[in-house]
Amino acid sequence: MPYIIAEVGQAHEGSLGLALSYIDALAETGVDAVKFQLHIAEAESSKFEPFRVKFSEQDKTRFDYWQRMEFTLAEWRFLKQRCDEKGVEFLASPFSNAAVELLEDLGVKRYKIGSGEVSNFLLLEKIARTGKPVILSSGMSSFEELDRTVGFLRKRKVEFSILQCTTAYPTQPEEYGLNVITELKEHYKVPVGYSDHSAKIETCIAATALGAEILEFHAVFDRRSFGPDATSSLEIDEIKSLVQAVRNIETSLQHPVDKTDNTRYKDLKDIFEKSLAVNKDLPAGHKLTFDDLEAKKPKGHGIDASEFEQLIGQELKREMKQWEFLNDEDLV
C-alpha cells in the first residue's frame, strides 16, 4: 500500500490548538502520517531572507514569520503524542541541525527532506548520524544533483526513498512530471513516490497507478485560508476521497487480471453475445447477402454473429420469416 503523508506545513499559523485540530481531522481520513515543518528561525534564517517577505501583513520579515511558526519542545511533544493517540505517524521536515536535535528528542522514526535541502550536506550529515531512514523530495534538483546526494547517502549507508516533486504552487498539469516516477525508480532502484502541490486529487491517484509507493500533499481546512501553501493544498473531504481512491487502486494493482482466461464470463457471454437471423422474409433457394442478415440476442440460438462471412452466398434450404434465427440446417 502507498504510504500516505498529509502535510500540515504552516497551515496551523503558529497555533497549537489549530495544529491539534489538523491531526484529529487528518487521522479520520485514513492517512498514514501527519507531517509538519520544524522551523527554528535563528538556526535556519536571517533578516536577509528574501522569499515571500511581503506575503503577510503581520510579519515584517520572513524571519519574523518563522518565529511565529515555532512551537516549544513541550508543544512539539504534545503534537507527537496526539499523533500517537490517533494512530498516525508524526513526521516533520527539519530545516536546520538544531531542528534535527529537537526531532531526536521527540523520537521520530524517519526524516523527510524538503526540496530546498537536498544539497544541504551539513543537514544530511546530521541526519545520517541518527541512522534513521530518509524521504527525499527532488523538487528543485536535476539528476546530476540527485546523483551527488544519493552518493552522499549511500556512502553513509542511509536508507532512503525519493519523491518526484515540482516546486510550483499550485503545480499545473504540464508541470506534474509524472513520467519522472518511473525514471527515478529505474535510475536509483529505491522506493519512489510523489510529492504533490497541485491541489487536485487526480495527481496522486495517477501517481499511484504509475507505481508511487509514497504520496505526500499539503492539507488545509479551506483553500481560502491565509498561508503560503493554502492554494496548493487539498481540503479534508478531498483527502478522504483521495485515500479511498488510492487504496482501491492499490488493491487493483495487487490483483492482476488474466486476459487470456475469460471463463468467468461464460454466462454473461451467452446473454450479451448474439446469433445470426434474417432481417426479412426470404424464399427457399435464396442466396444470402450481407444485407439479409441481423444479429440478435441471445447467443446459441443461431450461428454465431462472428461467423457471418461464411454465410454470404450460401443458399437457403427453406423459406424463412423475418427475424428467424439462422442455423446450419437451414442451409443447403
For residues 283 and 69, the model is more confident at: 283
Q: In the predicted model, is pLDDT for residue 239 greater than 80?
A: yes
Of 230, 253, 276, which residue is a domain's last? 253
Can you give the CATH number for the domain in which 96 is found? 3.20.20.70
Mean pLDDT of 141-164: 97
> Residue 54 has what pLDDT?
57
Q: Tell me the residue range of the domain where 309 lies.
A: 263-330
Q: Tell me the mean pLDDT in the region 15-20.
A: 96
210 lies in the same domain as 317: no
Query: Within this chain, do residues 269 and 233 fall inside the same structural domain, yes or no?
Result: no
143 is written with which cell numbers? 539528476
Global confidence as pTM: 0.86
Residue 211 lies in a domain: yes
Q: What is the DSSP letter of 154?
A: H
Assess if residue 108 is contained within a domain. yes
Cβ atoms of 39 and 92 within 8 Å: the answer is no
User: Residue 252: helix, strand or coil by DSSP?
Assistant: helix
The C-alpha cell at 81 is: 503524542
If we measure between CA atoms, which residue out of 150, 175, 155 comes closest to residue 165? 175
To which residue does cell 504510504 refer? 3
Q: How many angstroms separate the CA atoms of 268 and 15, rounded?
A: 59
51: confidence class by pLDDT, cuts 50, 70, 90: low
Mean pLDDT of the chain: 94
* Same domain, residue pair 273 and 245: no
Rg (CA), the chain: 31
Strand partners, 112: 135
Residue type at position 277: A
Domain identity same for 171 and 306: no
Assess whether 77 and 214 both reside in one domain. Answer: yes
Instruction: Please give the share of the chain, as a percent, with pLDDT higher than 90.
Output: 85
**178 belongs to a structural domain:** yes
pLDDT at 55: 61
**Is residue 258 domain-resident?**
no
CB atoms near residue 103 (< 10 Å): 23
Asked whether residue 323 falls in the same domain as residue 236, the answer is no
Q: pLDDT per residue over 59-110, tens digit each? A: 778 888 888 889 999 999 999 999 999 999 999 999 999 999 999 999 999 9
Output the pLDDT for position 156: 98
Q: Return the pLDDT at 104.
A: 98
Whether residues 31 and 80 share a domain: the answer is yes
d(CA 262, CA 258): 8
CA-based nearest residue to 81, from 6, 132, 12, 23: 23
Lowest mean pLDDT among 19-33, 222-236, 239-253: 222-236
Q: Is the peptide bond before 298 cis (omega within 30 degrees of 0)?
A: yes
Do residues 108 and 76 lie in contact, with contact meaning Cβ atoms separated by under 8 Å? no
Q: Residue length, the chain? A: 332
Query: 3-state SS of the chain: helix, strand, coil percent to 5?
Result: 40, 20, 40
Cα 136 to Cα 73, 221, 231: the distances in Å are: 25, 26, 23
Q: How many domains does the chain have?
A: 2
- Separation between Cα atoms, residue 298 and residue 269, nearest integer Å: 9
Which backbone phi and psi does 143 adopt, to 5 degrees? Answer: -60, -35
